[in-house]
Structure 1
């Protein structure tokens, strides 16, 4: 599946395909933001598209990427199972919990769970 803009609960969402380019740095995130800009309010990125460093908060990659999405006012949904990362890292588990309480970034199991945040 390629990246495609679709409407979910009345909100335009750029749903990124599993087979797309890996998001390994800030420029990769900006490329995705550029694809969504003025076309979508939310970007749904599969867990598998994110570099492993994203899940190691000490690397700073997650913070940089989340900040870029916030700066461009594009909401981010990380879609897929992150339980291995939340089990391994209390800090990452706390990040997921805090993000899911807000309205800018979510970690969801699937697109149907994203719909719950949108509706």
Structure 2
């Protein structure tokens, strides 16, 4: 996608369960030369969407440590409506370059094209 190589974690893959799964995903993406990883909403652990658990911070930090962007692909509107802190984090994250919340891969492609 543009100047960025995106590794897409397919919808039919298992849900990520924790740090080891995330590191395996990062390793596979790095092996393939990716600069971004696109993960469908349904493949993230449910605790990711409850910021007080720290799961989202742990996952995003792992991506940052390996200099990979994380694109969460899919609709998070219900989760954002249920938690003002999550909604605020989504808005703030979308202003940066580490983690983005996008509706689909076309939106990711568009955002990456604008960001280069």
- Between the two proteins, the alignment pairs up a number of residues equal to 112
Q: Once superposed, what is the RMSD of the aligned Cα atoms?
A: 0.9
Partner of 2:50: 56
Map 1:16-55 to 2 at 5 A.
16-38=9-31, 39-55=33-49
Q: Could you tell me which residue of structure 1 aligns to residue 5 of structure 2? A: 12
Give the aligned partner of residue 85 of structure 1.
79
Which of the residues 65, 69, 75 maps onto 1:75?
69
Residue 114 (structure 1) aligned to one of 94, 108, 112: 108
- Whose strand proportion is higher, 1 or 2? 1
Separation in structure 2 between the aligned mates of residue 36 and residue 87 of structure 1, nearest angstrom: 31
TM-score by length of 2: 0.93
Q: 1:22, CA displacement in angstroms?
A: 1.1
Matched, 1:101 2:88: no
Structure 1, unmatched stretches of 5+, are: 1-7
Cα deviation 1:9-62 (Å, max 9, x = unaligned):
231110111111211211111111011114200000000101110001111100
TM-score (norm 1): 0.90
1:73: Cα distance to partner?
0.2
- Listed as ranges, the gaps of 5+ residues in structure 2 are none
After superposing on structure 2, the runs of 4+ consecutive aligned residues of structure 1 that deviate more than 4 Å are: none
